[in-house]
Structure 1
């Protein structure tokens, strides 16, 4: 099925604030700022038609989708395949060594070593395949879908599945409630836009981390994302 959908990262959580590797279900809910971010999506999508809304099996995506779903009178559809990439034995850790270990693995994935994994965790291949199963099954014939997911899941899928980007685009910073527009179909997905929706009350994204602009072939800046941005 060809068409358009929007990948949206969930709103801010307490784990994001402390930089924790937080991937297990059901996970924490949103902070008050996260709830404000979720409410702001209603205005963001005001002039965009939406045929369906999809969420992962983690609490934070359900809560992020709720205001938009209520505004459009749509019932979010849950897919476990949209969950965050599992970090196994590093679950819940926020210490520098653990976060650095995950960063190193993520960089290997972007370089093509997609079968590597942390002890007890997922490989990139596994994460991509279960995300594919959801995104390639979306019925886009009646209009765009909005898909609420997670930082690593979104960035990894865009980097590895969109035909107009280099894999290094997966190293880009992604804000809470950033909106990534995708168009096409299986084997022809294209990154159309990456709207960070940066909260002006927060610091700007790290230097070298602008949103990628659509082009024939999009290459990423050599961005080094923060620990809380990479996973959760």
Structure 2
């Protein structure tokens, strides 16, 4: 099956001000974030990307814009890749939220965390929609472009961490152990029986390993892990 390159948006103005942005409109990239977006376009732009799928939020749209310009590949917006809806926590300082009783739930038992307010979402619901979106697009891209395809999905830290946790068969309560920095790339390949997590939180590595093999007839990716670990890409 295809390989998805999960890109976290570049550093945003909310990141630098210590604010939980959520779905707040108008939160874009700061200067460092724009540099990260340009660097991502240079790194990933030479790959034959089958699709560029993005969260609808401005910081993700801005992150993939240079990659869209470099590749000429049309950007597709996927609402299910949007940030968790933090409800009444949205727009508040992280330095204030850390004092809230629910902060410990978010840290230690996120599967039980439901953010307060009428627009608040549970972290479990966020994880479910994020995973569903990735699996939906991966199957669609496999059908349309073949099993060796490579594609990009741009999303947010918690969403990507939840997708990685699912791919590693890790309970959501452990997903805070995963680090996903702004502008990073995380690679997952889904097969018929299991996903393979190829790379996590890569902020500058060589991506040539994701070039599809030059074969006359495309082979289906094996679901078997290499005993002993293999020789690498």
- Report the TM-score, using the length of structure 2 for normalisation: 0.75
1:144 aligns with 2:150: yes
Structure 1 59/22 Cα, relative in aligned 2: closer, same or farther at 3 Å? same
Query: 1:69-218, aligned counterparts within 5 Å?
Result: 69-99=68-98, 101=100, 103-109=103-109, 114-120=111-117, 121-138=120-137, 139-141=140-142, 142=145, 143-159=149-165, 161-163=166-168, 168-185=174-191, 188-197=194-203
Report deviation, 1:35.
Answer: 0.9
1:77–1:158: structure 2 CA closer, same or farther, 3 Å change rule?
same
TM-score by length of 1: 0.75
Once residues 58 and 30 of structure 2 are traced to their aligned partners in structure 1, the CA distance between those partners, rounded to angstroms, is 12
Matches of 1:109 and 1:8, distance apart in 2: 25
Contact preservation (8 Å) 1:9, 1:151: yes
Distance, in Å, in 2 between the alignment partners of 1:190 and 1:17 is 33
| Larger Cα-atom Rg | 2
Matched residue SS, 2:136? coil
Secondary structure of the equivalent of 1:137? helix
- Of 78-87 and 120-129, the range deviating more from structure 2: 120-129
Matched positions, count: 196
Alignment gaps of 5+ in structure 2: 205-225, 228-233
Q: Matches of 2:160 and 2:26 in 1, distance apart?
A: 18
C-alpha distance 186-34 of structure 1, shift in aligned 2 (>3 A): farther
- Structure 1 stretches lacking a partner, 5+ long: 199-214, 217-232
Root mean square deviation, CA, Å = 2.5
Distance of 2:78 and 2:7 partners within structure 1? 14
Structure 1 or 2: larger helix share? 2
Q: Is the 8 A contact 2:18 2:95 kept in 1?
A: no
**Cα contact 2:4–2:187 (8 A) shared by 1:** yes
